Amino acid sequence: MILDILFPNRCISCNRITDADLIICNLCFEQIHFTHFEYCGENILKEKCKLLFPVENAFALMQFEQENLSRKIIHELKYRGREKTGKVVADWVTESLDFKEGKPDLLVTVPLHPKKQRERGYNQLHLFTNTLSEFYQIPYDHGLLKRNSYSKAQALKDKKHRLENQNTFSLDKNISNQHILLIDDVFTTGNTLASITWEILKEENNTVSVLVMAMDE
């Protein structure tokens, strides 16, 4: 209680004091560019994915535009130690995502290299995914995928090097006959998701859908 008074929670956008379980105030919330995609319908993200790999469904919550609030939210999550941001964003997803007949069997996160996870202290996708798992009653597996190479953050790469997918992934266990929802923070070139999806599809009768917090056009 005393800490709340001395160090009140503040909006990451305007710095107004706000509720402890929020990351932005109600006024700034209106500035977020949500996509309003339908998970089971056609949308720009699904079209982009289909150019790279077979995909069942695709959903992005926000637009990841230059200097907009969604970019700041995700940067707070990834680079400024605000892990609880993942739960807040997941709560926003549950308000707009209806799986309908396309409900997946398993939630799977894009892994960090162990060195990167030690540096950051957490995987920014885990709390986000755990929250979705509890809400939708879908199991998750954070250990299915393994990242085999260490590289600097996508945000710190120039466009040329982002297009060169230097990250290699492998499955750490056998899995088949599963509709997997592959979860990442931002869709940029799609190369990371493509690399992972093709690994998953090597196993028998697997299918893949995609969910990202934001989509960079």
The chain-wide mean pLDDT, for the chain, equals 89
Percent of the chain predicted with pLDDT > 70: 88
DSSP strands (E only) in the chain: 58-63, 106-109, 145-147, 169-171, 179-187, 207-215
Query: Residue 14 carries which DSSP code?
Result: T
Shared domain for 112 and 204, answered yes or no, is yes
Shared domain for 37 and 74, answered yes or no, is yes
Question: pLDDT category, 61, cuts 50, 70, 90?
Answer: very high
Shared domain for 84 and 12, answered yes or no, is no
pLDDT at 149: 76
Q: Provide the token pair at 103.
A: 């409900």
> What's the structural domain count of the chain?
2
Does the pLDDT value for residue 66 go beyond 90? no
Mind listing the pLDDT tens digit for each residue in 156-167?
Answer: 445 554 445 544
Shared domain for 126 and 36, answered yes or no, is yes
Query: Residue 110 carries which DSSP code?
Result: P
Instruction: Determine the structural domain holding residue 6 and report its residue range.
Output: 1-31
Shared domain for 141 and 175, answered yes or no, is yes
Shared domain for 49 and 14, answered yes or no, is no
Separation of alpha carbons 37 and 29, rounded Å? 18
Question: pLDDT category, 113, cuts 50, 70, 90?
Answer: confident
Does the pLDDT value for residue 80 go beyond 60? yes
Shared domain for 42 and 85, answered yes or no, is yes
Shared domain for 81 and 170, answered yes or no, is yes
Provide the CATH number for the domain around residue 176: 3.40.50
Between 146 and 153, the more confident residue is 146
Mind listing the pLDDT tens digit for each residue in 41-52?
Answer: 999 999 999 999
pLDDT at 151: 64
pLDDT at 152: 58
Q: Provide the token pair at 98.
A: 């209806």
